[in-house]
């Protein structure tokens, strides 16, 4: 078997192909197990010239115009190959390539740093988690509401729910490229409600953390709650560009309730999703993401939650936080350290049975009818739900001072967090963090 073209490709460029891509390439030979040996050579060549691979190509630094022309020429000359998107902030391209064209690119463009498989990435709700009571946010402080702060929900979209009326101030769709806000899955709208719903249909019973914050919906996941590394990078880079074009009305917080199994690179900074979220952080946007739902085993933090810079949130199993209550980490919540041995998550927030906005007819609504709470709300659990809770808290802090840097907000949340003997990671304490902010401003 080792004379086959794909094996030679993987051997020759193993240092430039990430492990998921190497595995994907070698698995293309699986059909050969069931075919006569005399046919192997022809099948090998057919795969070599015609099998399409979806990849992210990273360059050492900003690609030179001449190199870009070479890449475009090599790919456009093949009907199955094309460059789809350029991500200038992290020097990456997304592309469809055949193995032969991939080999040619690597041989003529030494500035290619790494080629990643454009893997699937998913929303992070957790099914079949129930408690006897639903989460209500009526205990949250009434004097701060997140007014004037904008939260980007990078997810399955956001539906025009009455509890968000007049506050969905932007929408972009990287799945179906529609122009009007919608959510065919339901996950993104639920997250938006946790962050910023005003509880209009429940007399405030199910209001979100920052009920006057604005929402921008960035749809990067489809009706099944699935996207790719490419769509996530598109969504985050769009937020960065949006702020460059709208300096007076920027996105202040990005909430990312999705994740992917973290692949081990030389460092987490080599992960393409980590690269883009940290670029947003450096651009002044506070980025909050989910730890993942693969607990209780250690080393289960998802990407991009493995980033040291951004805020990674795990889930609590209690209905809501009151200063005197003892709470435990939810059993499903992913545990640290990361696969790089770094401590994560940074914080814990409510994540079990949170009641928030329902999207009638969406995928989740149809599949989880027993989770509905009246006509307008539904229950969900997961670190997906903990993430917009934290994003809403960030909005409360930013309402008090919109000049707060992401690092300052992260420190305020961690310093103000409450710990207990049941949960070694700090639990978000809104009042403490707001008090710390006021004290620092005096």
Q: What is the pLDDT of residues 219-250, one digit of tens each?
A: 999 999 999 999 999 999 999 999 999 999 99
What pLDDT, on a 0 to 100 scale, did the predictor assign at position 129?
55
**Band (409; pLDDT cuts 50, 70, 90):** very high
Q: What pLDDT is stored for residue 423 in this prediction?
A: 61
Distance in angstroms (rounded) separating the CA atoms of residues 39 and 164: 60
Q: How confident is the model at residue 3 (pLDDT cuts 50, 70, 90)?
A: low
Query: Which residue is associated with the tokens 């802090």?
Result: 397
Q: pLDDT category, 23, cuts 50, 70, 90? A: very high
What are 440's two structure tokens?
A: 């620092």
18, 44, 100, 155: the catalytic one is 155
**Strand pairing of 253-256 and 150-155?**
parallel
Higher local confidence (pLDDT), 190 or 40: 190
Average per-residue pLDDT in the chain? Answer: 90
Q: Catalytic site residue 384?
A: yes
> Of the CATH numbers 3.40.50.2300, 3.40.50.200, 3.40.605.10, 3.30.1390.10, which one belongs to the domain with range 122-441?
3.40.50.200
CATH 3.30.70.80 fits 5-118, yes or no: yes
Could you tell me where in the chain the CATH 3.30.70.80 domains are found?
5-118
Looking at residue 132, its pLDDT comes to: 43
Full DSSP string of 161-181: -GGGTT-EEEEEESSS--SS-
Looking at residue 72, its pLDDT comes to 87
pLDDT at 41: 74
Could you give the 3-state DSSP secondary structure of residue 49? helix
Q: Report the share of the chain in percent with pLDDT over 70.
A: 90
Q: Which pLDDT tens digit goes with each residue over 347-397? A: 999 999 999 999 999 999 999 999 999 999 999 999 999 999 999 999 999
Q: Alpha-carbon distance 434 to 442, whole Å?
A: 13
Whether 213 has a pLDDT exceeding 70, the answer reads yes
Q: Does 206 have pLDDT greater than 80? A: yes
- Out of 187, 190, 252, 376, the active site residue is 187
Gap between the Cα atoms of 355 and 208, Å rounded: 9
Catalytic residue among 381, 384, 386, 433: 384
Nearest 10 degrees: Cα torsion 353, 354, 358, 363: -50
Residue 170 clears pLDDT 90, i.e. is over it: yes
Residue 323 has pLDDT above 70, yes or no: no
pLDDT digits (tens, 9 = 90+) for 417-442: 998 756 678 999 999 999 999 887 75
The answer to whether the beta carbons of residues 46 and 35 sit under 8 Å apart is no
Please, what's the b/e burial string for 382-419 (b: 16 or more CB within 10 A of its CB; e: otherwise)?
bbbbbbbbbbbbbbbbbbeeeebebeebbebbeebbbe
**What is the pLDDT averaged over residues 154-179?**
97
- Tell me the residue length of the chain: 442
For residue 247, give both structure tokens. Answer: 């300096």
Which residue would you say has higher pLDDT here, 71 or 223? 223
Worst-scoring range by mean pLDDT, 149-153, 191-195, 301-305, 349-353? 349-353
* pTM recorded for the entire structure: 0.93
**Residues 6 or more apart in contact with residue 268 via CB below 8 angstroms:** 262, 274, 303, 306, 307, 308, 338, 340, 342
96 included as an active-site residue: no
- In b/e form, how buried is each residue of 159-168, taking b as 16+ CB within 10 angstroms? bbbebbeebb
Among 108, 84, 88, smallest CA distance to 96 is for 84
Using CA atoms, how far apart are residues 165 and 200, in angstroms rounded to an integer?
A: 9
Q: Measured at the alpha carbon of residue 410, what is the angle toward residues 407 and 412, in degrees to the nearest 5?
A: 110
* 3-state class (DSSP) for residue 297: coil
Between CA 177 and CA 78 the distance in angstroms is: 26
Share above pLDDT 90 across residues of the chain, in percent, rounded to a whole number: 76
pLDDT tens track for 85-112: 999 999 999 999 999 999 999 999 989 9
Among 138-147, 248-257, 294-303, whose mean pLDDT is lowest?
138-147
């Amino acid at each position: 078997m080792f004379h086959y073209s794909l094996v030679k490709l993987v051997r020759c460029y193993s240092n430039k192909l990430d492990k998921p891509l190497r595995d994907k390439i070698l698995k293309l030979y699986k059909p050969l197990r069931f075919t006569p040996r005399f046919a192997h050579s022809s099948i090998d060549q057919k795969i070599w010239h015609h099998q399409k691979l979806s990849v992210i190509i990273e360059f050492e630094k900003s690609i030179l115009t001449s190199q870009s022309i070479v890449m475009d020429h090599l790919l456009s000359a093949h009907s199955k190959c094309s460059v789809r998107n350029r991500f200038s902030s992290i020097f990456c391209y997304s592309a469809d390539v055949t193995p032969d064209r991939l080999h040619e690119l690597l041989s003529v463009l030494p500035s290619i740093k790494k080629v990643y498989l454009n893997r699937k990435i998913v929303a992070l709700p957790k099914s079949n988690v129930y408690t006897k009571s639903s989460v209500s946010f009526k205990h949250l402080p009434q004097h701060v509401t997140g007014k004037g702060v904008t939260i980007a929900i990078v997810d399955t979209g956001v539906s025009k729910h009455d509890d968000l009326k007049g506050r969905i101030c932007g929408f972009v769709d990287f799945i179906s490229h529609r122009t009007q806000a919608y959510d065919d899955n339901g996950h993104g709208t639920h997250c938006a409600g946790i962050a910023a719903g005003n509880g209009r249909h429940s007399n405030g019973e199910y209001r979100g953390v920052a009920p006057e914050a604005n929402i921008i919906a960035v749809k990067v996941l489809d009706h099944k709650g699935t996207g790719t590394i490419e769509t996530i990078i598109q969504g985050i880079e769009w937020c960065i560009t949006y702020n460059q074009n709208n300096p007076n009305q920027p996105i202040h917080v990005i909430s990312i309730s999705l994740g992917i199994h973290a692949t081990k690179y030389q460092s987490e900074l080599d992960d393409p999703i980590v690269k883009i979220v940290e670029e947003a952080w450096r651009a002044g946007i506070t980025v909050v993401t989910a730890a993942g739902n693969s607990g209780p085993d250690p080393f289960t933090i998802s990407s991009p939650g493995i980033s040291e810079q951004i805020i990674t949130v795990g889930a609590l199993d209690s209905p809501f936080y009151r200063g005197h209550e003892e709470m435990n980490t939810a059993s499903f919540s992913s545990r640290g350290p990361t696969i790089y041995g770094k401590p994560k998550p940074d914080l814990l927030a409510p994540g079990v049975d949170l009641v928030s906005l329902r999207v009638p007819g969406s995928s989740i609504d149809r599949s989880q009818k027993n989770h509905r709470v009246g006509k307008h709300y539904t229950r969900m659990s997961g670190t997906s739900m903990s993430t917009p809770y934290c994003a809403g808290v960030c909005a409360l802090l930013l309402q008090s001072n919109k000049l707060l840097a992401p690092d300052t907000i992260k420190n305020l949340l961690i310093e103000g967090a409450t710990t207990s003997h049941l949960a070694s990671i700090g639990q978000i304490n809104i009042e403490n963090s707001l008090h710390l902010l006021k004290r620092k401003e005096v």
